[in-house]
Amino acid sequence: MSDLFEELANRVQRGDIESATEIARKLVSHDRNVWNKFVVYLDLKLKGKKISVSNLDSTLVITNKTGKPEVLIVVISEDEMIDINNFMNLIKFSKSMQISIFVALVDKYGDITYYNLEEINLIK
């Protein structure tokens, strides 16, 4: 799917709307959250990040120059219900992989807010 995102981003940047629409239709048939993922993908790509689509649901990965994952991005919509257990599992996963984890919250206008997720222990 990363290849399709890359191709879609290139066509959008070139202004080739007709073929970009065809690719977008293919993507939507595979994933209902694809638009939000693409908006975040394009935002990070424009900021110079090397980004790929993860196998985990609604997640993207920022990699370093060698291809090693550095950051896990969980993409959610502002009107989406979230499962706290899912977030806890993702935090544990990212901790075990020694990578950072962020939530990219996409609003109805396509604006993105990034939040860092961390596990903290409150000790008396």
Q: Tell me the domain boundaries of the chain.
A: 2-117
Is 2-117 CATH 3.40.50.300?
no
Task: Find the range with the poorest average confidence among 4-18, 54-68, 97-111.
Answer: 4-18
Query: Is residue 67 over pLDDT 90?
Result: no
pLDDT tens by residue, 20-41? 888 888 777 777 778 888 899 9
Residue 71: in which H helix or E strand, if any? strand 69-77
Q: Is the pTM of this model over 0.85?
A: no
d(CA 31, CA 17): 20
Mean pLDDT of 47-61: 87
pLDDT of 2 > 70? The answer is: no
Return the pLDDT at 54. Answer: 83
